[in-house]
Structures are given as C-alpha cells and as structure tokens.
C-alpha cells in the first residue's frame, strides 16, 4: 500500500525480506518499508512483485529492488548476495518508466512515458 505521503507499507510472508521492513519476519500488520540509503522521499510510479521479491520505479526514473536474489533477479553486483531486506537502488543507464516481474525475473522499460488523451 502506498500512503498519501508516498511511503510504502506492506504485510504478509517475509521469508526473503520482500516486505522491505529490514527483517525476515512475517507481519500481520502494515509496516513501513525501509531503504538502505536516504531515499525516504521517493515518489513511486509503479510497483511490481515476483516470487519473493518486489521492484518499483520512481517518477524520476530510478529503480528499487528488495527480497530474494537467489536467481539474480534483483541484478545485484555481488552474485553471492542472495537476499536484501530493505529497498536498494539499482543504477540503470536510462530512466525506467515501467516495471514488470515474473516468478524469477524483472523487466524494466526505459525511455519517456507518453500520455494519451
């Protein structure tokens, strides 16, 4: 759930840190997502979930990932890093305008978002 202040809240199973609350503990109540760096005031464009991981892109074209990286689906620099429990910013050469997830993969559409009237 995204709140009016653009904070992200989640609850449920959290075996691989996919709730982004800094733990691997399940939660029956909404918890605010955490970030590895000072990215608290990001404005999300779109969020998507795969198998035990979550990604989102921001209005300014940045990509954030959290959860399982067992198959490399988060694109972390260290292939031995198997999971992260707080949102991590991934650097992509172009602005990301849309994201989609499969069970163990991420697709990021780059470019300019066109609006239709």
Residue 4 included in any domain: no
- Token pair, residue 12, equals 């449920």
25 and 85 Cβ atoms separated by less than 8 Å: no
Residue 117 included in any domain: no
Q: What is the spatial distance between Cα 38 and Cα 102, in angstroms, rounded to a whole number?
A: 28
Strand (E) or helix (H) holding 83: strand 83-90
pLDDT digits (tens, 9 = 90+) for 30-81: 998 888 777 766 888 899 999 999 999 998 999 999 999 999 999 988 878 8
User: How many domains, the chain?
Assistant: 1
Residue 64 included in any domain: yes
Q: Enter the pTM of the model.
A: 0.86
Residue 3 included in any domain: no
Domain of 54 in residue numbering reads as: 9-110
Residue 2 included in any domain: no
């Amino acid at each position: 759930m995204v709140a009016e202040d653009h904070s992200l809240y989640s609850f449920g199973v959290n075996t691989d840190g996919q709730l982004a609350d800094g733990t691997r503990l399940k939660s029956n109540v909404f918890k605010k997502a955490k970030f590895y760096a000072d990215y608290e005031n990001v404005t999300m464009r779109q969020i998507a979930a795969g198998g035990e991981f979550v990604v989102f892109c921001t209005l300014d074209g940045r990509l954030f990932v959290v959860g399982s990286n067992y198959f490399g689906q988060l694109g972390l620099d260290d292939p031995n890093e198997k999971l992260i429990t707080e949102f991590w910013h991934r650097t992509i050469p172009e602005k990301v305008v849309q994201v989609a997830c499969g069970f163990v993969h991420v697709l990021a559409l780059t470019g300019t978002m066109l609006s239709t009237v």
